A = this chain, B = another copy of it.
Amino acid sequence: MKIAVFGTGMVGQALAGRLAELGHQVTVGTRDVAATLARTEPDGMGNPPYPQWATAHPEVSLTTFAAAVAGAELVVNATSGGVSLDALTAAGAENLAGKVLVDIANPLDFSQGFPPSLFVKDTDSLGERIQAAFPGLKVVKALNTLTAELMVNPKALAGGQHTVFVAGDDAGAKRTVTELLESFGHTDIIDLGDITGARGTEMLLPVWLRLMGTLNTPMFQFKIVR
């Protein structure tokens, strides 16, 4: 499948790398290609800058959001939640129409430091805002509840015995995303219904962040025991 990945940070790198490894034709989209390629420092979390990652992944190309989307069947939103709408606007609503968007972003607001608060929550969600702003997109909220490494390689923890969620208005888009998650190794994928299901998964972030501090690692996962 031809896939555009928006975002050049840890999540974008993990998704782009794994999708390419699985044989997909992957293009990464960024706001300013020259600025992304000029980065030489690790990000705030100690992840390598994009150019270093790109050298190890020559099969993945880098371009603008709009160019990345051209011809793509599926788009992965791995940007920071605060800039997701801007990135999609830059891609162009007309270029996005009819496409599946896997929305991994969380509405984290770091303006007051750590832990971040959520800039949308409870009676609305980032997933819903994206769907409302781009009605032609088929938004599927997914993979926003676990660390990047486990998103794409769930079997690295407990043989993959843990849970991920999908939520979205389009049943066909959810099937496509579910198959993609299965190709990563996910075996327990719960369909939370329409895009308003994003509220609950985005609101998992506060306990997720607290657990990361308590457990001193991001390598943990929610499992819904039933």
A212 to chain B, nearest CB (A): 10
A174 to chain B, nearest CB (A): 13
Q: Is the CB of A206 within 8 A of B200?
A: yes
List A residues 26-55 near B (Cβ within 8 Å): none
Q: Is the CB of B200 within 8 A of A209?
A: yes
Q: Is A185 an interface residue (CB 8 A)?
A: no
A151 to chain B, nearest CB (A): 14
Q: Is the CB of A220 within 8 A of B224?
A: yes
Q: Is A203 an interface residue (CB 8 A)?
A: yes
Chain B residue contacts of A222, Cβ below 8 A:
222-225
Chain B residue contacts of A161, Cβ below 8 A:
225
Among B122, B191, B223, contact of A214 (Cβ-Cβ < 8 Å): B191
Of chain B, the residue at the smallest CB distance from A210 is B200
Of chain B, the residue at the smallest CB distance from A150 is B225
Chain B residue contacts of A20, Cβ below 8 A:
none
Q: Is A173 an interface residue (CB 8 A)?
A: no
| Extra pairs beyond A121-B203, A203-B207, A221-B226 (5, CB < 8 Å) | A161-B225, A192-B207, A200-B210, A204-B207, A211-B224
